[in-house]
Amino acid sequence: MNNAVQIAEQWPGWDGASAFEELLDVRSPDEFAEDHAPGAVNLPVLQNDERATVGALYVQTGAFPARRLGAGLVSANIARHFASHFAEKSRDYRPLVYCWRGGQRSASLATVLAAVGWRVTVLRGGYKTYRAHVRDRLETRPGEYKYRLIGGATGSAKTQLLHRLAAHGAQSLDLEGLANHRGSALGHLGPQPTQKMFESRVLAALEKLDPTFPVWMEAESNRIGALYIPAQLWAAMKVAGGIELKMPVGGRVAHLLSEYEHYVSDPSELIRTLRQFATAHGGPQLREWESQITAGHWVGFVASLLAIHYDPRYAASAGRCFPNITQPVALDDASDRELDRVASELQEA
């Protein structure tokens, strides 16, 4: 590698990474989509199909033909990046570059950047070094904080209170936001990140928090949609104290209808999603719910779903998973006024 290129022997951590103007991930878009360092910019030196072609040629004919083809493709991609991404970079530009293992792909871009005169650093071991850092830190970092959990039955506005607490200056960790899922069986919000990406997001969020102050979180199960909360964080959550929101059923129903408007506007999607409840509640109950949905009896449907499905499950699991959530907190409804009142009281306590 060019002598002007510096080598980082390990992932510098989030404080260290902030010393670089940019984190450049030169892997293919598919590799980047699976996981990457939060904040990294994807500047692939080989596109998905190009990487597959070079790899196949390597297997079929050996290293030299593959490298010859790869060099041309890499050169063309780097040229495009210089015509766009690097076109306006200043003389003091200082990036950190990584690829899969800190090998030829990162070296190819780093060598050209250094030739221009920029101070460029390559992460030895590439993404694999970064991923090892994430795994190691998730074994210890979650235990450095004191957590305060927000419990409560479905529809109690736990997420909204978490956001209000953050707005009032409290530290918070929004796992549902990081997972892009509301946590419940009907909580699909769109594509979720991969498990690796979720873990990257969780660690990045934790690293920004101050261990000397409490961190507010929702009392989640260990699984949010298809993703699992990192084991040490889940273990810390199970012994944490917190509050249990108490809201009248009418307030919960109104809140859920406002939060899940997409189901009201597309009842067919809701009916399809509800079919996963057939095993637990049987065909007759499912048909009754479908009838209420079709007739537009939304208040009755949501109240029934809470009474028959969600509330019994919450009652059975809350004490078992979170025995230290012992402080009841009353909310009349999910209005901004009520949420601000409770958030303010909790901050002052």
**List of E strands, the chain:** 6-8, 22-25, 41-42, 95-98, 121-123, 147-152, 171-172, 215-218, 223-224, 227-228, 241-246, 325-330
Number of other CB atoms surrounding residue 231 within 10 Å: 12
**Interhelix angle for 126-140 vs 231-238, to 10°?**
20
Of 174, 201, 197, 177, the closest CA to residue 187 belongs to 177
DSSP symbol at 92: T
Of 37, 56, 38, the closest CA to residue 46 belongs to 56
Distance of CA 154 to the CA centre of its chain: 22
Angle at Cα 295 formed by Cα 291 and Cα 299, nearest 5°?
90
Q: What is the DSSP string of 18-67?
A: TTSSEEEE-S-HHHHHH---TT-EE--SS-HHHHHHHHHHHHHH-HHHHH
Whole-angstrom CA distances from 314 to 155, 228, 307 are 11, 19, 11
Task: Give the whole-angstrom CA distance, residue 214 versus residue 87.
Answer: 44
Task: Give the whole-angstrom CA distance, residue 109 versus residue 42.
Answer: 12
Q: Contact 190/180 with Cβ under 8 angstroms?
A: yes
99 given a catalytic annotation: yes
Task: Give the whole-angstrom CA distance, residue 177 versus residue 318.
Answer: 21
Per annotation, catalytic residue among 46, 99, 186, 206: 99
Would you please indicate which residues are annotated as catalytic (active-site) residues? 99
